[in-house]
Structure 1
Amino acid sequence: MIVPVYRGLEETRRCIESVLASELGPDVELVVINDASPEPALVDWLNSQAARFTLLHNESNLGFVATVNRGMRLHPERDVVLLNSDTEVAGDWLPRLRHAAHLSADTATLTPWSNNATICSYPDFCRDNALPEGFALSSLDRLCATALEGQRVEIPTAIGFCMYIRRACLDAVGLFDEASFGKGYGEENEFCMRSARSGWKHYLAADVFVYHAGGVSFAASQSEHQGHGHKALLRLFPDYDRMVQAFVASDPACSLRFALDMLRIGAVDQPRILLVSHTRGGGTSRHISELVTQLQGQAQFLLLQPDTEMGAIRLGLFDAQGWHNPQLFSGAQAECLEGLLRALQLTRIHYHHRVGLHPLFLDILDRLALPADLTLHDYYLLCPQITMTDAVGRYCGEPDESGCNRCLQERPVIGADHIAHWRRHSRDWLQGMTRIFAPSADTATRVQAYFPDVQVQAVYHEPELSIAPPRVPALAADEPLRILVLGALSPFKGPDTLEACAQAAARDGVPLQFHLLGFAYRELNCNASGYLQVHGRYAEADLPALLAQLQPHLVWFPGSCPETWSYTLSAALEAGLPVVAPALGAFPERLAGREWTWLVVPDRPVDAINQHFMQLREVIREGRPPLTTEGSIATDSFRYATDYFSPDERAVQPAASNDILAHLRGLLPPPALGNGVRLTAGRE
C-alpha cells in the first residue's frame, strides 16, 4: 500500500493513523514516500513514526507519477493500493477491496465510493460532498459493506485517490506513464485506458467507502497539472471524454446510491415524509424546496414524481440541496415500490400535485393509508385545465357546469369527460386529507366554494419574505417609462398582451418601453425600434444586479389567471418597485395597503392598457403617489417550521434496515460472485 506525501501534516497524520487502525489483513506493507516535502513539521512527524511503516524519502521532488512508480517497483510480485495522503479509511476496507479485485481474472483496478471522487462520489454523483449528516466515515462504510456486499459496477476509469491495482495487470501493461504525465493528474486515466485496450476492466467497489478531503497534498499546482494532464490524455486517447460522458449520462450506479439513501433515511429517528408532485417546475417546485429547508433537521423527505406523464415514477431523497439519486419505478415494479414505502415506515404523505401520476401509483399511495396533507398550487381539482383560463389564456370567469363541459369538449383532458364527475372525484379525494393548505386566502375561498364540506387553511408561502418600502426611480421628461415583466410566461401569464402592447406603443410612437426579464412560451416579436426587449432566463441570485441595470419604473403582471401566490410578485416586493397587477387571485390581498401600486381590471383592451401606462408615466414623473390599495393582508398563525409536526409525530423510531434492504434487492444487480475462475489473492 503506497501513500505518497508532499504537504498537509494533519491530513497525512489522519490518513496514516486510520490505515494503521483499520483491519488490513495479512501480507500488507504500508509504504509512505516523502516526495521532498517543503514542510519540515511533516517530515519530522514521518521520521518519528518510521518504525510503524516503511518510509522512503525522495532526494528531490519527483511528482506523483514517479513517486508511486517507485513504490510499485518495490515488490514486483504484489498487488498495489495507491492511497492519497488526504484520505481516511475504516474497518475491513482493504479485505473487501481485495476480495472484489479477485472476483474475475480480467479485473485491473478497483475504486471505492468516496465523498469526493467524481464518478465514484456519494451521496451525489460527480460532486464534492460532505459526509451525510448523522454519519461518520466508519458508519457509512459499514452501511456500504452491509447493504451492497459484493456489488461492483464497471467504470471507464479508476479514480486515483484510492486505487487497488492487480499486479497481473501491471505486469501486462506496465506502470504509469512518467514521460507524458510528469508531476501528475491524468496518469491513472491513461493507465486505465491503456489496460482497457488490452481487455482489462475497471470497477467501482460499491461495498467500500473511503473519505477523501481532496487536493491537499499537491494542491498548490493542482490546476496547472490538471490542464497539462488532460491534454496529454486526449492526445493518447481522443475518445476518453466521450466515454466518460456516456458513463455519466447512463449513471449505472444510481440504483446503488439510491439504496444507500433509503437505508440512511430509515436509520434516522425523525419523521419520514413522502412529498408527491409533478415535473412541471415553477412555483410548486420552489415551494417544496422552501418547505424542506424550513423543516431541515426536523424530518427526512422523499420526493415522488411522474417520470413521464401517465407512465413510470421516480423516487428519491429530497433535502435543502435538492433531489438525490431518483430511482425509476415502472408499472412492473409497483409491488417493489409499495413494499419499500411500507418498509420505510413513513409518517405522512404531503401531496403538492398529482397531475401525470398513473392511477396505479395513486392507488399505491392510497393503500398506504397514511395521514395525508395537500398544498393547493393551482385549480386542478376543480378545473382540469388547471388555471381556470380559456383557450387563449384569459380568465374564464368560472362559468356554470355547461360552460365547463363546453370547454372540455373544445380542449379535452384525459380522465375529464364531465366536469361534475371530475369534481365529485376530487371532492372524495379531498375528504381523505388531514390538512389542506392554500398559499393565499383567495385560493382557499375559491376552492372551498366548490368543495364546501372540506376545510382549506390559508398559509402563506415565504413567511420570512423581506418586503422593501416602495421607491420610485426618477423619470425625466424625455425618458420612456420602463415597464418590466418578470419570469417565465406561459399563455395565461400574458405574453400575447405584452407583445401587443409593445407593438401598439411602436405604432403610436408613445414613450413606453417594455422589458421581459425571463422568457415566453413562444418567441415574441421584438421590433428594431426597441419597444420590447426580451432579456432571457436569469438566476434568482442575479436578479438584484439585473434590476439595478435595467432600472425599471414599474413591474407589470399582464396575465389574468387568478394566481395562487406569484413568486415574481415576491421579487418585485423585495425590490420595492411600483406594481401594476390584476385585481384577481392572490394579488389584492398581497398588495393590500401598499403605496405605488395599481390593481386593475383583467383583460383590458391593449389601447386602454397603454393609455393607463401613459397616465402612470406622468404620475411617476411628477412623484404623485396614488391612493394606497384597499383591503388588509390576510395572515395565518400557522408556520411550517413550528407547527407542521405534532409532538407524537416527532417521536419516531428508525425503520428496520433488513425490511428496507429486502425490498431494495429487486432494484439492484446481483452481486458479483466470481466467474468460475479460481484466483489467487495477491499481497499488497
Structure 2
Amino acid sequence: MKKNASPSIAVILPIYRDTTMTLACIESALPAILTLPNAKLIAINDASPDEDMQQALENIAKKYPQIIHLLVNEQNLGFVATVNRGMRYFADHDVVLLNSDVLLPDADWLTRLYQDAYDSDDIASVTPLSNNTTICTFPDFLQDNPIPFGLSVTEIDAAFKTPRYPCVEAPTGVGFCMYIRRKALSEVGYFDEETFGRGYGEENDFCQRAIQAGYRNLISPNIYAYHLGGVSFADEKDALIERACQVIDKRYPNYHSDVQNFIAKDPLRTARIYRLVQLIATTDLPKILHISHGTGGGVEQQLEELADVLGNHAISLTLVPEGDNGLVKLSLSIRQTADSLYFNFAEDYDNLLMVLNFLGIGLLHFHHTVRFGEQIFSLPNDLNIPHLFTIHDFYLLGGNPTLSDETGVYPGYFDEALQNPMYPYPKGVSRESFRQQHRRIVETAEIVLFPSAATKEIFSDIYRLNKTQIVVHPEIHRNISAPIMPIAKKARYTIGIFGAVSREKGADLVEAMAIYAAKQHLPLDFVIIGYAYRPLKQVKTTGPFVRQELTNLARQQGINIAFFPARWPETYSYTLSYAMDLGLPIMAPNLGAFPERLVNRPLTLLFNHLDNAETLTKALYEFICDFATTDTTPVMPISRQDDHFYTTDYLTYVKSPKVLSKVKLLPAQFINVDKKPAVRMNSNEKLVVNLWKIYSHPSMRWVNKIIPFRVRRGLKRLLSRQAIHDLVNKYDNTK
C-alpha cells in the first residue's frame, strides 16, 4: 500500500435477525465507508426469518449501489460460513468483521481502524474498545457496560480520537468489529467453518493461528463502538460458547492461560483511564465526588443506589482510603468494577486537586472521614466548591460509630462520659480536637442530611448545624410498602435475622434467645441470612452473600418473621428494607430509625432493646400466637411516600463545572496510573484471617469460654481495623 493511500477494505456484515437493529448498524457504518475510495460493504442475508429483512436491505442497497453489495444465502449457512463467503467476495481486500448489533461512531472510525492495522507489517487483526466485549470493554474491564452517561456513540468516541495511543497486543481479537489484513488472511486461511459453523470461537481460532504464523492481534484504544451483544445467537449462545471453549482448549492448550495473564496484567488500563478522564472532563453533566470509608455496608449501598436514582443526569465518583498506608483511591464511577487512580494523600494532594479540577467536580458529598488524613478537611475550600454531609452513623461524635459501651450495647442515651475501648481516638487526638476538625466540614456544609430524626436529635446537641433535612435513602429496588403476609399457623416458625450480625447488631442476644427457646421447647428456629461475628449455638447461618441474593435466600429458608436484634440506634437499616419488601411480619427495637420506619405498620412489634433474652423470646412467641392464622390474605400497610429530595433538590447544590471545550490530555505526571497497589496482606492481616478461620470452626467453640470477647476483639483491632469480611476477601484474592 502506498504511503497515505487507504487499503481496499470490505466490511462484512452477516445478517440474521432484527431488521431495525441491522439498519441502524448499516447507517452508522456507512459514513466512514463512504469517505474511503476503496471501501465496500458486503451485507449477507443468511436466510433471515424476519419477513421485512430482505426488502429493507434491498431498499438501502439501492441508495448506494456502488458501495453496498447485497448477497443472499438461500438457506441458513451459519455465521462462520457466511463470513467466509464475504471474505472470498473481494479476494484482495482487507476485511472488517461487523456484527449486525454494533453501532459505529462518526465518519472516520474505519480510517482510524486501518491506520492502527498498518502500524507494522506483522499485524493480523485490530479490535476497538466497546461496552460489552470481554477483554476490550470500556469503561469497566470485563463488564457488560451501559453506554456511559447516556451519551451517543459518537459523543463517547470523540474522547478516543486524540491523542492516539499505542495499541495493545492480545491473545485474541473479538469478532464484533475486527479488522483483518488480507496479507495475514491469505497466509493463515479463512475461518474454520466446519468446526465453528454456527459461530463463537472462530475468531479466537483464527487469531491463535495468526500468532503461530508470527502475526500479532491488537486491541485499539483509539476507537469506541457500541455492541448490543447476542442478537444473532440469543437462543443458543451458552451452548455455542461451551463447545467453542472445548475446541480451543484442545487446539491451543496455552490459550486460556494467556487470556488470564492478559486479564491479570490489564495492559489497557492506562488507556481506559485516560479516555474516561477525558470523557468526564468534556461532558457538561453535574459531577459529584462522594467521600466515604470504602468498607462496604449501608454506605456503599446508598452510594450505588443514589447513582441509580440520578441515572444519566449526573456523574458520580468516589474517594476512599486504600488501606492504612496513606493511599486514597479515586474511582471514576460508583461501580465496584470501576477503574481507579491512586494517590498518596499527603504527598500527592496537589496532584489530586489538579485531577479533580480537570474533571470538573462540582460537589463534594461527604459520607465518612475515617482513615483519611487531615487534608480531607481542607478539600472543600481548596476546590472552592460546595459540600454536603450525610450522617450514616455516630462516628463524628467521638469515633464510636454505634454509641455502644464495652459490652456492645447502647445504654439508651448519649453520654459524653461513655467510653468504649474498642474505639480509641488516634494518637495525640482528644475528643474536642477530633470534633473541632469535623466542625470544619460539618458546620460549613450547605446541608447536613440525616436518614432519621432520631439520628439528628443526637447530633444537634453536639454540632451547630447550618441547615439540615431528614432524607430517607432512595428505595428504587425494593417495595417497602409491599403487602404483609400473615403468620400462617404451623408446627414450627422460622425467625430470620438478616446481614452480617456483629455484637452491636445483636448476635449474642440472638444466641441467648435461641438457647432459651430450645430449653423451653418453643417451636422457634433462628436463622441468620448471612453470618455472625462468631459461631452461635442453636442458630443456623447461611454464610456471606451479595445483597442481590438476600431476598431469594430468605424465601429458600422459609422465613416467617424478620427479627432485628440491634443493640444500637441504627440510622437507617437496609436489611429492614429487604424484610419490608418481602412482606414479612417484623419484630424490631424501639430505637433509632426502626420506630420511624415502622410507624403504624401492621404485624409489627417494637420492643425495648435493653430487655433480656428471656423477656424478648416470650414476647416473640406471644406475638406469633396472637397473630397466627389460617387466613392467607395479605395485609396492606400504609403506603410509604418516597422522599423526592434526590430527584428534585439534590443536583441544585452542584456548582456548574468549567467544561473543557475540546479534548485535552491531562499531563501524565498528574495521573499516576501505575500507583495501583497490588493485593498484599501484611503479617498482622494474615494472622487475623488465620485466627478467624480457626476460631470459626465448630470444634473451636470452647474458645468462647476461655478467652473473653473483649480480649478477642481487642486483639483483632490491635492487629487490623479492617472488617473481617474485607480481610477474608483480600486474603482470597492474594492466592
Aligned to 1:119: 135
2:593 to 572, 586, 603: 586
- Deviation string 1:347-375 (CA, Å, 9 cap, x unpaired) is 22111112233445554455213211100
Q: 1:418 to 1:92 in 2, by over 3 A?
A: same
In the TM superposition, residue 561 of structure 1 has moved relative to its aligned partner by 1.0
Pick from 271, 276, 291: which aligns with 1:261?
A: 276
Q: CA deviation at 1:537?
A: 5.1
| Aligned: 1:21 with 2:31 | yes
CA 218–6 in structure 1, closer or farther in 2 if over 3 Å, else same: farther
Question: CA–CA distance in 2 between the matches of 1:426 and 1:389?
Answer: 21
User: Greater shift after overlay, 294-303 or 23-32?
Assistant: 23-32
For 1:560 and 1:208, the matched residues in 2 are separated by 55
How far is 1:177 from its partner? 3.1
* Aligned twin of 2:659: 655
CA deviation after TM superposition for structure 1 residue 644, in Å: 2.2
Q: Percent identity?
A: 34
Residue type of the partner of 1:518? G
The answer to whether structure 1 residue 91 and structure 2 residue 101 are counterparts is no
Detail structure 1 runs of 4+ shifted over 6 Å in the superposition: 632-638
Which residue identity lines up with residue 484 of structure 1 in the other structure?
Answer: G
| 2:12 equivalent in structure 1 | 3
C-alpha deviation, 1:342, in angstroms: 1.0
Aligned to 1:388, the other structure's residue is in SS state coil
**Contact persistence 1:33–1:58 (CA under 8 A):** no
Whole-Å separation in 2 of the counterparts to 1:228 and 1:425: 61
Say whether residues 1:203 and 2:212 are aligned partners.
no
Q: 1:150 aligns to what?
A: 165
- Counterparts of 1:538-557 in structure 2 under 5 Å? 552-557=559-564
Counterpart among 532, 554, 563 of residue 570 in structure 2 = 563
Question: Which residue does 1:287 correspond to in 2?
Answer: 302
Asked whether the 8 Å contact 2:448–2:465 carries over to 1, the reply is: no
Residue 305 (1) aligns with residue 312 (2): no
1:657/1:65 Cα in 2 relative to 1: closer, same or farther (>3 Å)? same
Structure 2 unaligned regions, length at least 5: 1-9, 631-637, 675-735
The residue number in structure 2 matching 1:519 is 531
Task: Report what 2:251 is aligned to.
Answer: 236
**Residues 88 and 524 of structure 1: is their aligned pair in 2 closer, same or farther, counting only changes over 3 Å?**
same
Please give the alpha-carbon distance, in whole angstroms, between the structure 2 residues aligned to 1:376 and 1:445.
Answer: 12
Equivalent runs, 1:179-198 vs 2, <5 Å: 179-198=194-213
| SS of structure 2 residue aligned to 1:506 | helix
Taking the aligned partners of 1:342 and 1:296, their CA distance within structure 2 comes to 23
Contact 1:156 1:202 in 2 (8 A): yes
Match of 1:674 in 2: none
Distance 1:298 1:16 in 2: 30
> What does residue 634 of structure 2 align with?
none
Q: Note closer, same or farther for the CA distance 1:559–1:400 as it changes in structure 2 (3 Å cut).
A: closer
1:30 aligns to what?
40
Change in 2 beyond 3 A, CA 1:584/1:139: closer
Inter-CA distance 33–641: structure 2 relative to 1 (3 Å threshold): closer
CA shift, 1:226, in A, is 3.2
The answer to whether the Cα contact below 8 Å between 2:341 and 2:673 also exists between their aligned partners in 1 is no
Deviation digits for residues 414-442 of structure 1, max 9, x if unmatched?
Answer: 45743233223223332232211111111
Amino acid aligned to 2:42: V
Equivalent residue number for residue 229 of structure 2: 214
Which amino acid in structure 1 is aligned with residue 645 of structure 2? R
| Structure 2 CA distance for aligned equivalents of residues 636 and 484 of structure 1 | 26
**Alignment partner of 1:341 is 2:356:** yes
How far did residue 509 of structure 1 move? 2.9
CA 1:644–1:543 in 2, change beyond 3 Å: closer, same or farther? same
Q: What amino acid sits opposite 2:533 in the alignment?
A: Y
1:515 partner letter: V
Partners of 2:128 and 2:224 within 8 A in 1: yes
Residues 113, 121 of structure 1: 8 Å contact kept? yes
Q: What's the counterpart of residue 628 of structure 1?
A: none
In the alignment, is residue 475 of structure 1 matched against residue 489 of structure 2? yes
TM-score normalized by the length of structure 2: 0.77
The whole-number CA distance in structure 1 between the counterparts of 2:220 and 2:543 is: 44
Alignment partner, residue 379 of structure 1 = 394
Gaps (5+ residues) in structure 1? 527-531, 624-631, 671-684
Q: Of 499, 517, 521, which residue of structure 2 is paired with 1:487?
A: 499
Give me the whole-angstrom Cα distance separating, in 1, the residues matched to 2:151 and 2:34: 23
Question: What TM-score comes out, normalization by structure 1 length?
Answer: 0.83
Task: Give the equivalent residue in structure 1 for 2:120.
Answer: 104
Q: How many residues align?
A: 647
Q: 1:362 to 1:261 in 2, by over 3 A?
A: farther
Q: Tell me the amino acid that sits aligned with residue 96 of structure 1.
A: R
> C-alpha separation between the residues in 2 aligned to 1:255 and 1:169?
29
**Residue 627 of structure 1: aligned partner:** none
1:504 paired with 2:516, answer: yes
Contact 1:24 1:94 (C-alpha < 8 Å) held by counterparts: no
Would you say the 8 A contact 2:290–2:317 is kept in 1? yes
